[in-house]
Amino acid sequence: MPRIKPPMRRPPPFRKLRVYAFDPSLNWQIDTAVINQMTLQVPWEELRPGPVGEYLEVVDVDPASHCCYAPVDLDDRFALAADGLEPAEGDPQFHQQMVYAVAMTTIHNFERALGRRILWSQADAGQNYQFVPRLRIYPHAMRDSNAYYSPKKKALLFGYFPASITDPGHNLPGGTVFTCLSHDVIAHETTHALLDGLHRRFMEPTNADTLALHEGFADIVALFQHFSFAPALRDQIRRTRGDLAGQNLLGQLAQQFGQALGNRGALRDALGKVDPATGEWVPRKPDPADLQEAKEPHTRGAILVAAVFDAFLTIYKSRIADLLRIATAGSGVLPAGDLHPDLVDRLAREAAASAGHMLNMCIRALDHCPPVDVNFGDYLRALVTADRDLVPDDDRGYRIAVIEAFRRRGIYPSGVRSLSAESLCWARPVGDEAAALHGLLPGVKGLRRVRPDWSLTTDRHKVWEQMQQSCREIHGWLLSEEVQELAAHFGLALGPDAPRSIDRNKDGLPLFEVHSVRPARRLGPDGQTLTDLVIEITQKRRGYINPVWQDKVDSGEIAPPPHDFWLRGGCTVLVDLDRGAVRYCIGKGIVSEARMATQRAFARTSGSLQATYFGDPRRREQAEPFAMLHDLPAIEEETFDY
Amino acid sequence: MTTEPLADPLAMTAPPAGVKIRMYRQGLGDCFLLAFATGTGRPCYMLIDCGVLLGTSDAGRKMRQVAESLRDSTGGRIDVLVATHQHWDHLSGFDQAREVFDQIDFGEVWVGWTEDPGNDLANRLRTRRRAHLQALSAAARSLRAVGAAPKAETLEAVLGFFGDLGVDGHPSRIEAALDYVLGRGKPPRYRTPGETVGLPGSPARVHVLGPPLDEALLLRSDPSHKASEVYEKRLALTEETAFFAAVLAAAGPLSPEERELRDLSFPFDGIYRVDPERAKGDDFFQEHYYGEVGTGEVGTGDAGTPAEKEMAWRQIEGDWLGSADNLALQLDSDTNNTSLALGIELSPGGKVLLFPGDAQVGNWLSWHHLGTIDAADLLRRTALYKVGHHASHNATLREKGLELMERPDLVAMIPVDEQMAHRPKGGNPDGWDMPFLPLLERLKEKTQGRVLRADSGPPPPEDLAGLSAAEREAFSASCVVTPLYLEITILP
């Protein structure tokens, strides 16, 4: 007899999964155990065991232990009934659940901020540049106090290691620490992969800032995700009485990891550090000299993180000033004792909103960065420009807060006339340049043809194929003769007279690549949503430490010997699709002698032990550019590094 | 006063006062013979190291040739033999040309306190070094087994500083070379920093600067801070031993002690662990990791079950062995840092010859904390600097080292063979970064071009353009260049 069934239902919007809000170490202290429980709401998707979904595939092989761990099935009825598996360090299936849930949350934050689907970077030449549908996650890839994103394998590799015996912090001495159970580490590594998906040249160390931006940006995303942990946020607001500039968990990254290495504290802290002499936490004072001295990417990235966090605090303080006045009958001075729970809630809400805004700002800025050789100054300009495009009126002073925080740390863009928001925004092409750029692009009709549909419901493989098609079309346009003459506006050299250090195609013309064509949202003056087209075009040129060789190769006097480094150039062009006008052209000139000299100076002074024996990342691409970053010696500054 | 001519025309003479320094040109390695004026006809000879890098072509013949020259130049008697540290490029000759060294009579043998078998810390360092080497050579073998031969070769090149490691990873050749050196002492002198020692017949005094006695400084070459904790307890589970246990298990059968450690090192209980052979038969692991086992051919798998080869690029079978790179660097630096570093003062308050071995940061820094010796003063008076570690970036301290050397007549000698260093090392096509260009250029500035390199010889004229004609003349006159060695005379 046929069974009677209710009508088909739509799937729920979210799948609830339990994770550690920070990492397991907070469970061992009575005051943090409660806030460490967290249930993430991950956008619902069909999942296979692994979990394997649309964006991610968790594959739990552990070659160092010569074993594998069975994949978790999150559709299992027990798991569905109980918000997933219970957090447990000794259960590898819970580890799989946690990396999946946190990585998906990070991806979701990106898609929300950008208003489009995210793609992983394409596979290498060896794999025919194929589409990579899913980032792979190996939760137990190695026995090392390290975790990294592998651009070659399109995978996150997490290590595990025994905690320090002599100085383990809150850890069990010799007890196993899993980097895949740290919310911060997962968010950080996922962000590396997301950033690589947008800008695959940003992992090339062409100046001191590129890798630092990768690291700093990954930390920024991990930090601001803390503010979506409601119980933890309320708890920390309560403890700090609303003053988030003091020592608090929200500004710290990777507690357990840092302590297990004997650091006496979190791995990194945006606000301060523990003085090794006194054991006391001291706030970090902004000092432009720090930027001069910091060379190691994490240290340098930490300055960027501190600047962004500082801007966030300014915004937060201005948003809660009225609340404090209301709560204190106008004095703004809080009485002793605990804050009223309602006030805590309201402050928490403001903190979460400010953090959300900063995070969105930071992510959106990526569409306004040059495609190669980015530096902190470029990123500041991108932040300001992207925010102005979306929020034309800065009545809350967010952009000023950002500029001020960067200025206090000595981060200035080069080639701007003042530090006002207007001068920092990328300049709109005017006059002759605008005319030239206009002539470069075909009419509105042609552009509309390449307008990609990246809405959040489109199939990602289709999105990718469409992008490939758009890239090919734009590449074709750029090959025409009239375009060659205008190429300088784009930072490119496309004519037959281009330096011979740029390799040629079969017709004897310089090679170049249309790197990406993607849509970006912005608000028009009347509040309507507009779509810009972001086109990235890049070119590479052989660079030599010896300027005499460079001249000879450039002029074609000698055939190019093996190069010492690649100089990359090109631009990010933002096109207003509706008017068919170029709004910005953010370039790095390929023929610029100044750029060549700067990178030459940078390429010849890497000077690390790593570089001495295993090859210099500033000159040659390394198999795993992110793997070694954590291990650079702290002693660099003392040895030779002129 | 006239010096009596030596009977032997091959003999290396000393200047009437001061010292002659000879750098042999055997390749990437150190061998320095010093002849100090004594006032008698016979100079006081000091030999500092005698080795060449593993993999140098025809190394045995070259080292025998060097040893024969040492024998003939000194009339078969060397007053002081100094072995700076236990690296093949400093000691190989005592293995490769042993029968020649047997014909030389050594007055004294000096080594650092770190070679003293009666010293606890020295023994712990040695034990740790052996454990490291055993694990690292096993790691290289495992890398080969998973098809990562270039990575294995890059790693093995660094391990080559310990000479030829047997299948078990035991550094028996280098240990034998050092044992030979120690055996030639009667007994050897284990030098500690802060000592000042005279040389027979010479007014020169030798100040012992390193290796540091302070363990923290001794290990301050360390690329990471996961240093050296409790390494005497091999059974304690640390980041290092957990890695070693895995490497050794992958390479072959374990001793009961190692098995115990390995059992302790598993991150999860046995009920969670699935043997890879079983996983290869499982749908999930076939589809997402191993591929359809057995078919092998690209493109022959059904949709959804890609063949093995298509899966390979995302597999991570060998990636965990990447941690070995760091450990190898750490081991290399830690050993370099045990270098016996000497500051040789030709006369009280006069010129100084600086022979730091391959001292790293911690060693250099420690000199400035010696109560009995004013290291900054010695550095200011340095007239000849033997550049550490073939002029790599990590063996010359900047502010508290080279920048203090201010004599206008400073000379630098670099025992380097750039071609050998730059030769591709497995997966690293550029080879080693020696000499490190920014250091080399700063050396040229500090010495006004007076840089003697073992590979290219004396400086080209354009490097000396900053000198006056008389200075240039004097410098050229003080140098002797032969295919076998470079020599310079330093007057007091």
The tens digit of pLDDT for each residue in A173-186 reads: 888 999 999 999 99
CA-based nearest distance B81→chain A, Å: 29
Q: State the DSSP H helix or E strand holding residue B485, giving kind and residue range, or none if neither.
A: strand B485-490
Q: What is the pLDDT of residue A525?
A: 65
A65, B333: Cβ pair inside 8 Å?
no
A261, B279: Cβ pair inside 8 Å?
no
Examine the pLDDT at A158 and tell me if it is beyond 90: yes
pLDDT tens-digit map of B326-360: 888 888 888 999 999 999 999 999 999 999 999 98
pLDDT tens-digit map of A326-371: 988 888 888 888 889 999 999 999 999 999 999 999 999 999 999 9
B393, A123: Cβ pair inside 8 Å?
no
Q: What is the pLDDT of residue B309?
A: 64
Least confident of A347-361, A385-399, A586-600: A385-399
Examine the pLDDT at A633 and tell me if it is beyond 60: no
Phi, psi at A114, each rounded to 5° = -90, -20
CA-based nearest distance A612→chain B, Å: 5
Task: Report residue A128 as tokens.
Answer: 């025919």
Phi, psi at A247, each rounded to 5° = -60, 125
Residue % of chain A over a pLDDT of 70: 94
Least confident of A114-118, B68-72, B355-359: A114-118
Q: What is the pLDDT of residue B308?
A: 59
pLDDT band at residue A55 under the 50/70/90 scheme: very high
Task: Report residue A19 as tokens.
Answer: 């994770």
Q: What is the pLDDT of residue B5?
A: 46
Least confident of A7-21, A269-283, B217-231: B217-231
Q: Give A-chain residues touching B241 at CB under 8 angstroms.
A: 162
**Between B150 and A628, where is the model more confident?**
B150
Read off the pLDDT of each residue in A136-147 and give the average, rounded to a whole number: 94
Q: What is the pLDDT of residue B86?
A: 95
CA A177 – CA A260 distance, rounded (Å): 7
Examine the pLDDT at B440 and tell me if it is beyond 60: yes
Q: Give B-chain residues touching A608 at CB under 8 angstroms.
A: 393
DSSP B216: H
Cα first-last separation, chain A = 85
CA A575 – CA A552 distance, rounded (Å): 38
B274, A70: Cβ pair inside 8 Å?
yes
Q: What is the pLDDT of residue A606?
A: 63
pLDDT band at residue A62 under the 50/70/90 scheme: very high
Q: Give A-chain residues touching B358 at CB under 8 angstroms.
A: none
* Residue B154 contacts residue B424 (beta carbons within 8 Å): no
pLDDT tens-digit map of A517-533: 888 887 766 777 888 88
B246, A71: Cβ pair inside 8 Å?
no
A642, B441: Cβ pair inside 8 Å?
yes
* Residue A556 contacts residue A522 (beta carbons within 8 Å): no
Name the region of A202 (left: φ>0; alpha: ψ -120 to 50; beta: rest). alpha
B433, A612: Cβ pair inside 8 Å?
yes
Residue entry with tokens 């470029």: A378
Of all residues in chain A, the one with the smallest CA distance to B389 is A612
Alpha-helix runs per DSSP H in B305-397: 308-311, 323-336, 361-367, 375-380
On average, the pLDDT of chain B sits at 89
Examine the pLDDT at B2 and tell me if it is beyond 50: no
Q: What is the pLDDT of residue A617?
A: 78
Read off the pLDDT of each residue in B13-19 and give the average, rounded to a whole number: 93
Q: What is the pLDDT of residue A628?
A: 61
Read off the pLDDT of each residue in B98-114 and give the average, rounded to a whole number: 96
Examine the pLDDT at A575 and tell me if it is beyond 70: yes
Q: What is the pLDDT of residue B115?
A: 95
For the CA atoms of chain B, what is the radius of gyration? 26
Examine the pLDDT at B230 and tell me if it is beyond 50: no
Which residues are CB-neighbours of A170 under 8 A, at least 6 positions away?
A25, A28, A29, A255, A256, A259
Burial B105-142 (b: 16+ CB within 10 A, else e): ebbbbbbbbbbbeebeebeebbebbbbbbbbbbbbbbb
CA-based nearest distance B417→chain A, Å: 15
pLDDT band at residue A449 under the 50/70/90 scheme: low
Read off the pLDDT of each residue in B401-425 and give the average, rounded to a whole number: 94
On average, the pLDDT of chain A sits at 87
Read off the pLDDT of each residue in A236-247 and give the average, rounded to a whole number: 89
Q: Which of B276, B433, B438 sits opposite A68 (nearest CB)?
A: B276
Q: What is the pLDDT of residue A452?
A: 66
Q: Give A-chain residues touching B225 at CB under 8 angstroms.
A: 261-262, 634
Question: Beta-carbon neighbour count of residue A95 at 10 Å?
Answer: 28
Examine the pLDDT at B210 and tell me if it is beyond 80: yes
Examine the pLDDT at B132 and tell me if it is beyond 50: yes
pLDDT band at residue A415 under the 50/70/90 scheme: confident
Beta-ladder partners of A62: A67
State the pTM of this model: 0.91
pLDDT tens-digit map of A482-522: 777 778 888 899 888 899 999 998 888 899 999 888 888 87
Phi, psi at A547, each rounded to 5° = -65, -25
Least confident of A142-146, A202-206, A246-250, B373-377: A246-250
Residue entry with tokens 């995700």: A225
CA angle B479, B39, B348 (to 5 degrees): 80
* Residue B263 contacts residue B245 (beta carbons within 8 Å): no
pLDDT band at residue B3 under the 50/70/90 scheme: very low
Q: Give A-chain residues touching B437 at CB under 8 angstroms.
A: 545, 604
